[in-house]
Structure 1
């Protein structure tokens, strides 16, 4: 695909020619961005092919910058090919095999993603905050037998290596990517030297690169699976979303056209790459158009500010919680953000006070959108020239959304609340080996297959979607999904817990926080601090309850089910559980 190369003002990029015309009776909303097509071309090639095209066009351009150390496009491709060859020849990875990636943001993680694609295999991204038990569940479900892992996270995989479930693991040392002097403060876990490897299944990243294996010819196309991100369901059991090279590309092609992005952009890659927001906006989309990503392994507001100013960062995808912390930094002053022209995101409501502060202080509009893991991130967006604060925006190029009654499936009348159902080329094929979940999550209407989002919204007179509630039981903590049933299952592992219910409560920094309502076993009376510490030790930090109420009983239905909705409503009203 021929992306624009004009490095001048950031106007709308030339739109790709549509391949499918919109129905004759379908009118575009009045706020539709000028020059943006209603449909997008159907992808043909793999994500690897797009990276290779960018490297052929800009071999010496920095694709990534990590603590001032650049990795140029040609070097990125060379390193990915070496790892792909090793995966195929030494680890036995074949077309369609799943490969686990467990690391915080770093150049090696980007290389590993594209090496898996080059080997015609499928990436299984793992949250760096997950526990060993959580990772083991994903390994068992996906069937991954090979991993790439950062050395500080290696203990999480140790039980799987000892059991032989994982046959091979390539170990990343972040310090190997530090090839330049930098005034930035480098965290100890990044600067830590390479540790000795003490397991026969382990191999160091430099050894793989030094072997310089040549991979077999690349065969994957747009229809091949490329990534299997896991998202928990209402039962607490993780589900893998089956995304192809085509679904991932479709979301990004639509986002590029919608936001007017060009190869001259510099992206700030702070959102975790294992999360769809960071995966798309801090890796696949920038590399697809030949842009540069300035990357940090984890959130650091001072370093982020320095990098924005030093590299002229123009685009930043960030959840509201990250921006709340960033703009509370007194050093964010003057013209240090002059290069930024797009700050966007979603996953949680944007506080109006913060949005207004960004606008008044720096002239920045937070461009709110809407997407899911199941839709490869971008689905709806606010037009940049006619954004409406507090809305999900309009369905983007190639996307059709509608509101239905969640019980009957009938379309709801204009102005009434309904569940968002959607279809488009970025929607996943379905869940990995979960036909039961597919039956629950997709509906057939008018000869098309629509994804049920579980989100309740209303459409205003201009066609903008406005979120009202969640049909699914879910809590969003700093952009991460937390399913109460999963946390409750873990809470029952505490020796003092007789019954438990988890609800979400408002939190100024993270949007929402997890609260546990607990009935203790007779004679048990754990201290609140001890209970919360136990939770942090047994589950990912964003899932762990931030607070707990010990109660005498929980309300139940006639069939004995805990009335979680009633408890959630009490918390919303500020009443004790």
Structure 2
């Protein structure tokens, strides 16, 4: 019997039967059950379940007319908004595959998603269209297959700027939310207006997607630099959609503050799909703003809020915190980064809320571990959730280790992905067979305590965790090498009081470029990669430490930085 069995939540099953329905089926059922219930609320505008399902079917029919067939990959490039939800379900209704892309990515990064996924159709908001168009045109100019159709929506397609009331966003958002499209056009493809697509009167194709068919292709990076697509069929997504709802003991009465990005696997599976499976209501926020979040929780009586710890820290620091009514919150939790103990204790003492941390990866459709709600531990990953088996092994010998010993975390369960898209070598390296079962190697180091709770202690993989965003140094380095002054670059993590970690680059300049400043290189990086990836610290060096075989010894630089960070903490402010 597993050590954690004694702490299993009451009325939560240990296993879920194999789910035979597609993710689309969840919306179809909730729309039939609760047609007039609020599914989405966006700046005061309500979308009911009947409206959500109807618009998804119309968009599915339009995609089908554009040539989207079963298994086709379709890019979704948006911040949280009703259109993102509609797009996901329309693509699934059309038996196709959602390729969710981080809206912070810039053109040079986007080109890889277009090439690798083979997508010929994309949907995006008007503010992001110029970057996607630039990427698509660059791919086409190189002779590779590129986007043939781009469906563009304005945020105001989903809300009335004159009727926002107490849900009004910060004034600084107005131009972004209500601005006119840029006008950038595909050189070899067609643009389509969102309203035109939703006016489609043709019937959608028969829905034939089943549990084994590919549903979502989210991308994750790694040590090789370029992001890899994670193949998730309907069955792996469905397992965690149902499992997370059962674990949290949520019902259709739940009201979620949906602010974690839905391009990210947690926001997509646990928040978006989980809420729709339940028939719950989502209060959508496209970006984080603590004052707006406080008002929305208060007005809409939010009951559940999945987040990253920096959001909670920011909200509690608001000068208006005493004016917000947080009394409706029943569940608050998240992952991506550890919740500082002092903040967790304040939540418990002042608001009676236990912060419930969990753990998962893109490859596992979000959670593999979560703390039992009735008995959470602070700064802890929790215990393996429904249907999941996890263990700690020696990363070299793969021998299973006892409680207290540090090793690599391995997971096995229905939520684990099928493998990496068009990358069999990476797939083979990611899995190992133990006692006849296929385990995924997470690349994270941790230990299990005597009660079966798991803790993260270190990383086997090169990765930086900045406010919950995963930054892969090899990818940043590859982008930095495009600067004409950069001869060599090595990216590591540095301690940051707010973000937890931030990105630092050690750079060797090419001869003749010594006039380049650190600030100028940082500015260039921000113009060529997503803001969370761009180095905030740059240090020019004469040479990088290298091994006898010529490989850059990044770990030596990382250890040097950790020593500097420790000295800074010891010295205090």
TM-score range, shorter chain: over 0.9
1:260-275 alignment runs, 5 A limit = 260-275=249-264
Deviating more after overlay: 125-134 vs 525-534: 525-534
1:496 has 2:479 as partner: no
Q: Does 1:402 align with 2:387?
A: no
Within-5 A mapping of 1:161-560: 161-162=136-137, 163=140, 165-179=146-160, 180-183=163-166, 184-185=168-169, 187=173, 188-193=175-180, 201-333=190-322, 336-523=325-512, 524-560=514-550
User: In 2, distance between residues paired with 1:319 and 1:403?
Assistant: 25
Q: Is the contact made by 1:416 and 1:458 (CA closer than 8 Å) also made in structure 2?
A: yes
Q: Which residue of 2 aligns with 1:126?
A: 101
More helix by share: 2
8 Å CA contact 1:160–1:166 kept in 2: the answer is: no
**What is the CA RMSD across the aligned residues, in angstroms?**
1.6
**1:494 Cα offset (Å):** 2.2
**Size of the alignment, in residue pairs?**
551
1:160 CA displacement: 4.9
| 1:255 Cα offset (Å) | 1.2
The answer as to whether partners of 2:93 and 2:207 remain within 8 angstroms in 1 is: yes
Per the TM alignment, residue 360 of structure 1 is displaced from its structure 2 partner at its CA by 2.2
Is the contact between residue 270 and residue 282 of structure 1 (CA under 8 Å) also seen in structure 2? no
Give me the whole-angstrom Cα distance separating, in 2, the residues matched to 1:283 and 1:80: 15
Q: By how many angstroms is 1:117 displaced? A: 0.5
Matched, 1:112 2:102: no
Asked if the contact 2:95/2:207 (under 8 Å) is kept, the reply is yes
Give, in angstroms, the shift of residue 106 of structure 1. Answer: 0.7
Deviates more, 1:210-219 or 1:393-402: 210-219
Q: Is the 8 A contact 1:83 1:213 kept in 2?
A: no
- Distance in 2, Cα, partners of 1:433 & 1:41: 30
Q: Distance in 2 between matches of 1:335 and 1:147?
A: 39
Change (3 A) 1:195 1:413: closer
Runs of 4+ in 1 over 4 A off after TM superposition: 25-28, 193-200
SS state at 1:466 partner: strand
Q: Show CA shifts across 1:340-385 (max 9, x none).
A: 1111111112111221222222222210000111111111010111
Report the CA distance between 1:497 and its aligned residue.
Answer: 2.1
Question: Is the CA contact 2:220–2:227 (under 8 Å) kept in the aligned structure 1?
Answer: yes
Name the counterpart of 2:52: 76
Q: Secondary structure at the match of 1:449?
A: strand
Distance 2:342 2:536 in 1: 24
Matched, 1:60 2:41: no
Structure 1 counterpart of 2:64, from 58, 63, 88: 88
Answer yes or no: is the 8 Å Cα contact 2:129–2:184 preserved in 1. Answer: no
**Is 1:37–2:13 an aligned residue pair?**
yes
**Separation in 2, partners of 1:127, 1:529:** 25
Moved more, 318-327 or 142-151: 318-327
The 3-state SS of whatever aligns with 2:321 is coil
Given that 1:555 and 1:562 are in contact with CA atoms closer than 8 Å, whether structure 2 keeps it comes out as yes
Change over 3 Å in CA distance of 1:198–1:541 after alignment to 2 = closer
Q: Which ranges of structure 1 fall in alignment gaps of 5 or more residues?
A: 1-24
CA offsets 1:479-524 (integer angstroms, 9 cap, x no match): 1111111111222222222222111011122121001112223341
User: Aligned with 2:347: secondary structure?
Assistant: helix
CA–CA separation in structure 1 for the residues paired with 2:351 and 2:222: 39
Point out where structure 2 has 5 or more consecutive residues left out of the alignment: 568-573
Q: 1:26 to 1:299 in 2, by over 3 A?
A: closer
TM-score, L = length of structure 2: 0.93
Asked if structure 1 preserves the Cα contact closer than 8 Å seen for 2:61 and 2:203, the reply is yes
- In structure 1, how many angstroms separate the alpha carbons of the residues matched to 2:313 and 2:525? 26
Normalised TM-score (structure 1): 0.93
Is the Cα–Cα contact under 8 Å of residues 242 and 429 in structure 1 kept in the other structure?
yes
